[in-house]
Amino acid sequence: MRPALLDPLFASLDTLPGVGPKLGELFARLFGRESVEECRVLDLLFHAPHAIVDRRHQPGIANSPAGAIVTIKGRVDRHQPPPPGRASLPTRVFIQDETGELALTFFKVKGNWLEKSLPIDETVIVSGKVDWFNGRASMVHPDLMVLEADAASMAMVEPVYGLTAGLSQKVLRRTLEAALARLPALPEWQDDAFLRKQGFEPAREAFLALHAPRDATDIDPQAPARRRLAYDEFLAGQLSLSLVRQRLRAVPGTPVRGTGALTRPVLDALPFTLTGSQRQAVADVTADMAKDERMLRLLQGDVGSGKTAVALMAMLAAVEAGGQAALMAPTEILARQHHATLSRMAAPAGITIDILTGRTKSRERDAVLERIASGETQIVIGTHALFQDTVAYHRLLLAVVDEQHRFGVHQRLRLTAKGVSPHMLVMTATPIPRTLVLAAFGDMDVSKLTEKPAGRKPIQTVTLPTERIGEMVERLRAAIAEGKKIYWICPLVEESEESDLMSAEERFQTLVAALGPVAGLVHGRMAGAEKDAAMLAFKSGETRLLVATTVVEVGVDVPDATIMVIEHAERFGLAQLHQLRGRVGRGDAASSCILLYKGPLSQTAHARLSILRDTEDGFVIAEEDLKLRGEGELLGTRQSGTPGFRLASLEAHADLLETARKDAAYIIERDPDLTTPRGEALRTLLYLFRRDEAIRFLRAG
Ligand code: ADP
Ligand code: MG
């Protein structure tokens, strides 16, 4: 149960004064939620300012630079309302100091509030942006105006927050103040000595300081308050992962000892031999599975490095040991493709491989479920439907999760909660830098596929301005005549599926018009069967050019496709471009990738395209990507809604992550059920950062 002291922070945002339906909608938009009921007071506290307005600059009227924010102290000289009948003209109030005169300009003034707040002959303090016109200084709608007597109430440094259209700094700050007023004193969950050494304040003070910067240095990620909260967040994450892991480990796994009866014939029949790192990965996995501790291993390998074959060997070992294996893919297309490839590769083993996805029709579904329950199904491939409550496994020994970065922690937890305790192999195609692996998965054993399968030729990557699209289409015509296969990826338009779709359909039409009926189309809105048909037609060579949205991004495998065209490449992220490019260069023929861009390119877009042109090394690309964009995006959290980080930054706070990892391990060792006083406080921490899924695994929870 969540500690009651956090209740005020988990109240929905519209319980704050002044947050009605209209403002509520703006906040929902700001936090990317469906409605204000889904926004918590806490969300606002985590909304850190990214800049400050410094009102300490007081140069005097005559010395105020145009466009700068200044604070002026002066005497009110006169009010000049618009002439009768010209209400659209502004009211001007003139104030003077020893250096000159400033016209304060107000549009649409109602009532007499100006006379009240700026009485003639009073000394007032105003702050805002100064403009100069014909040697006269003016300030339109000052940000702040107070009488000299109230000067102390004026905030000379104000935080600046990210906004959404229609929401002002002023309203946001006011609401934030109300949110801060709800912040209770929090029990200390950090070690005293550590806090002293780092110079960290208590968590409540850190939140208050986060929203009351006094200087630009307070906005820096290295400001003590920010570091404290970042550490809290990392610790919450690491602790939660350790708890899950502890739980996974606590349930003994079933030792799996393969006999080779299935793997051997399958290996012999493969049209290739495994690379050294594939063999090593298979050895790691089979050694893990042979133990009675459950395996929890991450298989990292760049696109095209051959993770599927490793997974197959592991799954066959599970079957040899008399059990079942399941492979979960993130999308329908991928699940079907895996089913097709694996069935083909495993044919010599003569085993039953089924598929189960959200699209599996009820009658077929019942049959598959029955086969899974009876143990007749030895390997099952599917989407998250595999781990729905209706699926009862006969003897699941191994679960493989492909493209893990698309899944949240939740799916992994669900697997455990169902009472099955298979060994787990998690495969990821994005070569995640170590810091990210730690943050996202905690201490996992890792196998890496570092070699590319033999015979791969480098992919020649070029950039081309959109203006030269006609020229390129001509070259594609020649390529098609030579029997080549081409992917054509259409751009993301403002993250809206509908406009993506339009652009893909339009492009499809123009390409069919130019090249004839050699093109196919596949996008996310198509019915499943249509998608399959389009993929199949491309795979079989019936179509030669596949126009697609990013549905082909992950894992799609058509080895004889050798040309990848990415339209509006400047709109894609680096990791995504790398994934897309990885669809070609999978066979032994030379491949190329054409990045079509629309100039002028922003600096980052330029950097992205250059990196891609210069290297194919997924690890280099991932590191560069981490530098160029937020970590959340790299992990694909945008798509899946995986809880990312609110305040911690892997770039700025990498040192803290390492400490948090050790701290979490130490805590779990000493206090595995979080029952000591610090343990109790740590539970509060887990709730605060919404890492509390793990709490239900605690015995005393
Ligand atoms: P990914 O790691 O991206 O999932 P896949 O498992 O889809 O990669 O493999 C990419 C392609 O490489 C497939 O066509 C696969 O059959 C082939 N492949 C896998 N291992 C080897 C190997 N050792 N030698 C040659 N080709 C291989
Ligand atoms: Mg794959």
What are 390-415's pLDDT values in tens digits?
889 999 999 998 865 444 444 555 55
Name the pLDDT band for 176 (thresholds 50, 70, 90): very high
CATH homologous superfamily of 459-615 equals: P-loop containing nucleotide triphosphate hydrolases (3.40.50.300)
Ligand 1, atom nearest to 270 Cα: 16
pLDDT of residue 255: 92
Contacts of 621 (CB under 8 A, 6+ apart): 431, 574, 575, 578, 611, 612, 615
Pocket test for ligand 1, best of 267, 273, 305 (most atoms within 8 A of CB): 305
Per-residue pLDDT averaged across 155-161, rounded? Answer: 90
What is the Cβ-side half-sphere exposure of residue 57, based on CA atoms within 13 angstroms? Answer: 14
pLDDT of residue 502: 60
Residue 379: phi and psi, rounded to 5, are: -130, 135
CA of 184 to the centre of ligand 1 (A): 55
pLDDT of residue 428: 81
Pick the residue whose CA is nearest to atom 24 on ligand 1: 453
The two tokens of residue 535 are 């993929």
Per-residue pLDDT averaged across 655-668, rounded? Answer: 91
Q: How long a stretch of residues is the chain?
A: 701
Among 27-31, 118-122, 250-254, the minimum mean pLDDT is found in: 250-254
pLDDT of residue 412: 55
The whole-angstrom separation of Cα 441 and Cα 667 is 18
**Which stretches within 548-599 are classed as H helix?**
574-581
> Does residue 638 carry a pLDDT above 70?
no
Per-residue pLDDT averaged across 288-292, rounded? Answer: 92
The two tokens of residue 475 are 């070259």
pLDDT of residue 642: 30
Closest CA to 425 of 452, 396, 451, 450: 396
Per-residue pLDDT averaged across 623-628, rounded? Answer: 71
Ligand 1, atom nearest to 586 Cα: 11
> Does residue 195 carry a pLDDT above 50?
yes
Pick the residue whose CA is nearest to atom 14 on ligand 1: 559
CA of 697 to the centre of ligand 2 (A): 32
Sign of the alpha-carbon dihedral angle for 617, 619, 620, 625: positive
- 276-289 vs 307-320: helix crossing angle, rounded to 10: 30
The whole-angstrom separation of Cα 290 and Cα 292 is 7
Strand order in 69-80's β-sheet? 131-133, 136-140, 100-106, 91-97, 69-80, 123-129, 144-147
The whole-angstrom separation of Cα 379 and Cα 315 is 7
Residue 559: phi and psi, rounded to 5, are: -60, -25
pLDDT of residue 631: 45
pLDDT of residue 636: 37
The whole-angstrom separation of Cα 31 and Cα 167 is 12
CB 290 within 8 A of CB 256: yes
Per-residue pLDDT averaged across 541-557, rounded? Answer: 79
What is the Cα 238 distance to its own chain's centre? 18
Radius of gyration of the chain (CA): 30
Among 255-259, 445-449, 691-695, the minimum mean pLDDT is found in: 691-695
**Which stretches within 346-448 are classed as H helix?**
362-374, 409-417, 434-441
- 434-441 vs 224-250: helix crossing angle, rounded to 10: 60
DSSP state of 397: E
Contacts of 375 (CB under 8 A, 6+ apart): 324, 394, 395
Domain ranges of the chain: 4-52+162-219, 56-154, 291-449, 459-615
pLDDT of residue 432: 61
pLDDT of residue 663: 94
Pocket test for ligand 1, best of 586, 588, 591, 616 (most atoms within 8 A of CB): 586
Residue 6: phi and psi, rounded to 5, are: -85, -10
- Bridge partners of 521? 547
Each residue's pLDDT tens digit, 315-363: 999 999 999 999 998 778 788 889 999 999 999 999 999 999 988 888 9
CA of 655 to the centre of ligand 1 (A): 36
* Residue 576, helix vs strand vs coil: helix
Closest CA to 110 of 78, 81, 138: 81
Closest CA to 147 of 166, 109, 121: 121
Please give the helix or strand (H or E) that residue 519 lies within, else none. Answer: strand 519-522
The whole-angstrom separation of Cα 634 and Cα 625 is 7
CA of 303 to the centre of ligand 2 (A): 7
| For the CA of 342, the nearest ligand | 1
Closest CA to 565 of 484, 658, 670, 666: 484
Per-residue pLDDT averaged across 531-557, rounded? Answer: 83
Per-residue pLDDT averaged across 241-247, rounded? Answer: 77
* Residue 427, helix vs strand vs coil: strand
Count of H helices and E strands in the chain?
A: 25, 22
- Given this chain, do its domains 291-449 and 459-615 carry the same CATH topology? yes
CA of 102 to the centre of ligand 1 (A): 72
Each residue's pLDDT tens digit, 64-89: 999 999 999 999 999 999 998 888 89
* Residue 147, helix vs strand vs coil: strand
The two tokens of residue 242 are 């350790």
Residue with tokens 């014909």: 134
The amino acid at 103: A
The total of other beta-carbon atoms located within 10 Å of residue 370's CB is: 12
The two tokens of residue 577 are 């471009």
The total of other beta-carbon atoms located within 10 Å of residue 458's CB is: 11
Each residue's pLDDT tens digit, 489-531: 987 544 455 555 567 888 999 999 999 999 999 887 788 788 8
437 vs 497 pLDDT, higher one: 437
Architecture per CATH, domain 56-154, reads as Beta Barrel (2.40)
Fold of the 291-449 domain:
Rossmann fold (3.40.50)
Ligand 1, atom nearest to 311 Cα: 6
The whole-angstrom separation of Cα 563 and Cα 587 is 12
CA of 429 to the centre of ligand 2 (A): 7
Name the pLDDT band for 118 (thresholds 50, 70, 90): very high
Pocket test for ligand 1, best of 267, 268, 272, 581 (most atoms within 8 A of CB): 272
Closest CA to 578 of 528, 546, 623, 525: 623
Ligand 1, atom nearest to 308 Cα: 6
DSSP state of 40: B
pLDDT of residue 553: 55
Ligand 1 environment, Cβ below 6 A: 272, 274-275, 278, 301, 303-309, 429, 453-454, 555, 557, 559, 586
| For the CA of 449, the nearest ligand | 1
Alpha-carbon separation of residue 320 from 42, 257, 317, 325 (angstroms): 51, 8, 5, 11
